[in-house]
Amino acid sequence: MLALIQRVRRASVSIDGSVVGQIGAGLLVLLCAEQGDTPAQADKLLAKILKLRIFSDAQGKMNRCVQDLDGEGLHGGLLLVSQFTLAADTTGGNRPSFTQAAAPDVGRALYEHFVQQARSAHSAVATGVFAADMQVELVNDGPVTIPMRVAAGA
């Protein structure tokens, strides 16, 4: 599975002009399931994201994770948005190929699994809508943007 993680001051996702998910400070996570991905990989990716130390401590060092914010009453949110285009292969020309992305039914199942597990592990989780035409707005904090992949067997 692939994720693009952005530390944000705030973020929202809208469909047809209506906000369907939003957070204050926290992480915007764009998620992509690839062919062969499993729920175990989704679980491992979620665990890594929840413990990713990219928030500043009192000394200004990236030493806290989103769960630390939540534990301090700062409600570090997660905004989870499906994005199959993270699987783009641009090596063959000017039009990206998405053949490595999971089939839509598999991608939906893995995204929904990821969301369910995130809601079990974290108190502030918002989402987009799988396969919808969404508009994402964010204020990237830093900016801090981190790509992450959990491969099969990892």
Indicate which residues carry an active-site annotation. 83-85
Q: What is the number of alpha carbons within 13 Å of residue 140 lying toward its C-beta? A: 10
Contacts of 127 (CB under 8 A, 6+ apart): 13, 20, 21, 79, 80, 81, 115
Residue in the structure block whose two tokens are 């997660």: 78
The CA distance from 141 to 139, in Å, is 6
